[in-house]
Amino acid sequence: MNAKSLSKSDRIGIIGAGPAGIYTAHLLAKRGFTQVTLLEGSGSIGGKSVTVQRDGVRHELGTCFLHPGYDLVFPLLEELGMENAMRPASPRGGEIHFPGSSTSMQEWMLGGRGLSNILPGARLLASLRRYIELHREVWPDFHPGLPPQPERWEGLDMTFESFLRKHKLENLIPLFWITMFAQGYGDLKTTPTFYGLSWITPALVSAIMQSTLGRPSLLILPQGWAEVWQRLAHLHDMDIILNARISKIERPESGPAQVYWSSDGRRESESFDHVIMATPMQRGVELFEETSVEESEVFRSLKPSQMSTLLFEAARAPQGHCIRYYPGAIEGSSQGHVYGIRNSAQALGHTIDDRTFVAHQYCPTAQSKEDLLDRALTDLGIYGFEGVRAIEQRVFSYAPRFDQRGLEAGLPWRIEALQGQRGTWYVGGSVSFESVNDITHHANKLVARMAAVATDRSESLVLRAQAQRARVVRAG
Ligand SMILES: Cc1cc2nc3c(=O)[nH]c(=O)nc-3n(C[C@H](O)[C@H](O)[C@H](O)COP(=O)(O)OP(=O)(O)OC[C@H]3O[C@@H](n4cnc5c(N)ncnc54)[C@H](O)[C@@H]3O)c2cc1C
């Protein structure tokens, strides 16, 4: 397969207007690509960024937080006039609940009640420092997005929990359990070290350490994440076709790709010189009419987990902080227990007594919406919420990953080798680590690469005409 030539005036179709699709379109516009169209299967943009407004309070049912290491997001928010709106996600800190007792997140980190095996705060901070050093030793050239392929897997060929134990960092396990699990990145017992190190970076650990001094490590956007992508689309007056659920993509060896979808019972299609896949690729690969052996092997090896959120109202709620975690639920993750509950009004600093909450559930494999709802209602009863009324439930296929064998076979980096082949490019949470920090870094690199190989057709025509004129003059 050959890479197709690329020009800044080529027609580019982006499949999926989630954060990765919108951010990529923004970068392409900045780099001078002029004909970019987004095709979004649902009726709105933003993908897993789902902000629901109710009685003046915004609730995040998808993307929620950012930490101080989101270095490409901060300038973006500033550009969109949103930076000053950011605030600590949990003004009084989070709260950890155990059956019959609870403790603040900070106390817990620094050796508070509830966990018998936790060491005093000073030891914890020393271990966090040691972890940062270790991260830099084992992965000196690490960067977010898709980090470089490790030169050797020796020492990384184990679960993240084994890795921490091997390096005598067991006292970080409770904190890192929450740090991974709360974001839907799985438990330490089964997660490969590669993914643990990809999320718990030196930047995140530094933010956690700063939080012990009272600086927030977790930030929230009062206007909501959905607003970020809306504003970005508006800024560039992006060409977006909604309700265009793509069903087939033909990619002939030469000539443009043909993209098909149905709308109001009518079959629609559009041709593009290049296609950027900004949809989760474990499903996205099925859209190609023909796939190469390599595409098939790589994308079909991706295995997603599932995250589910439930917006609910409670007639009576137990007193507590705005963000509560239930570590007991993590052990039973396969049943999709509620592991985290957030009161959005409190998290956003509203003083009103709002008894609306968002509950989070995680499952390593897919479960039905009905089972998840039953489980959530049972758990909320156990946690002391009474008179619960479900308002809205969202279930997401989430964070597709390779297993350890796939990682060692280099599958994530083989995707990078596929970039541009048959006029097809890939961005988003299935080809980089799944967080907004990572997808923005990954897209940034990819678009820089596209811009580097792209010719500016109008410019090159002018240069060619000038060169011809010069030859004529010389010949004359
Ligand atoms: C509950 C939850 C909480 C999260 N919290 C955070 C957080 O706090 N911080 C953070 O950084 N990240 C968080 N994330 C992750 C973040 O939301 C994702 O990393 C991000 O949404 C990935 O963007 P994406 O564009 O790659 O994919 P998606 O958001 O999945 O977007 C893909 C888009 O493609 C569209 N699509 C799919 N198939 C087709 C098709 N056939 N045709 C046309 N369109 C199609 C979809 O409709 C969707 O709009 C969270 C995610 C969830 C689910």
Q: What 3 state SS string does 267-282 have?
A: EEEEEECEEEECCCHH
The sheet with strand 338-342 has its strands ordered as: 101-104, 95-98, 323-325, 338-342, 356-363, 303-316, 386-401
CB 197 within 8 A of CB 142: yes
User: What is the residue whose two structure tokens read 């003059």?
Assistant: 473
Q: How far is the CA of 457 from the centre of ligand 1 (A)?
A: 34
**Gyration radius from the chain CA atoms:** 24
Q: Which atom of ligand 1 is nearest to the CA of 20?
A: 25
275 lines ligand 1 (CB under 6 A): no
Minimal-distance CA residue to ligand 1 atom 34: 16
Q: Tell which residue, 89, 108, 100, 334, has the closest CA to residue 217.
A: 89
Pocket perturbation via mutation, ligand 1, pick of 279, 288, 372, 401 by most ligand atoms within 8 A of CB: 279
User: What is the residue whose two structure tokens read 């793509």?
Assistant: 246
Please work out, in degrees rounded to the nearest 5, the angle formed at the alpha carbon of residue 156 by the alpha carbons of 155 and 162: 85
Euclidean distance between CA atoms 378 and 357, whole angstroms: 15
CB 97 within 8 A of CB 339: no
Give the contacts of 101 (CB within 8 A, at least 6 positions apart).
113, 114
Task: List per-residue pLDDT tens for the chain, 476 residues long.
Answer: 557 899 999 999 999 999 999 999 999 999 999 999 999 999 999 999 999 999 889 999 999 999 989 999 999 999 999 876 666 666 556 667 765 667 766 666 655 544 444 445 678 889 999 999 999 999 999 999 999 999 899 999 999 999 999 999 998 988 898 889 888 898 899 999 999 999 999 999 998 888 766 677 788 898 999 999 999 999 999 999 999 999 999 999 889 999 999 988 899 999 999 999 999 999 999 999 999 999 999 999 999 999 999 999 999 998 877 888 887 777 766 789 999 999 988 888 887 778 999 999 999 999 999 999 999 999 999 999 999 999 999 999 999 999 999 999 999 999 999 999 999 999 999 999 999 999 999 999 999 999 999 986 555 444 445 544 444 443 33
230 lines ligand 1 (CB under 6 A): no
358 lines ligand 1 (CB under 6 A): no
Angle between helix 225-235 and helix 19-30 axes, rounded to 10 deg: 30
Euclidean distance between CA atoms 370 and 394, whole angstroms: 11
439 lines ligand 1 (CB under 6 A): yes
Please work out, in degrees rounded to the nearest 5, the angle formed at the alpha carbon of residue 144 by the alpha carbons of 240 and 150: 130
Q: Which atom of ligand 1 is nearest to the CA of 46?
A: 49
What spatial distance separates the first Cα and last Cα of the chain, rounded to whole Å? 45
42 lines ligand 1 (CB under 6 A): yes
User: What is the residue whose two structure tokens read 């479960």?
Assistant: 367
User: What is the residue whose two structure tokens read 């620094």?
Assistant: 110
Q: How far is the CA of 428 from the centre of ligand 1 (A)?
A: 8
Q: How far is the CA of 427 from the centre of ligand 1 (A)?
A: 11
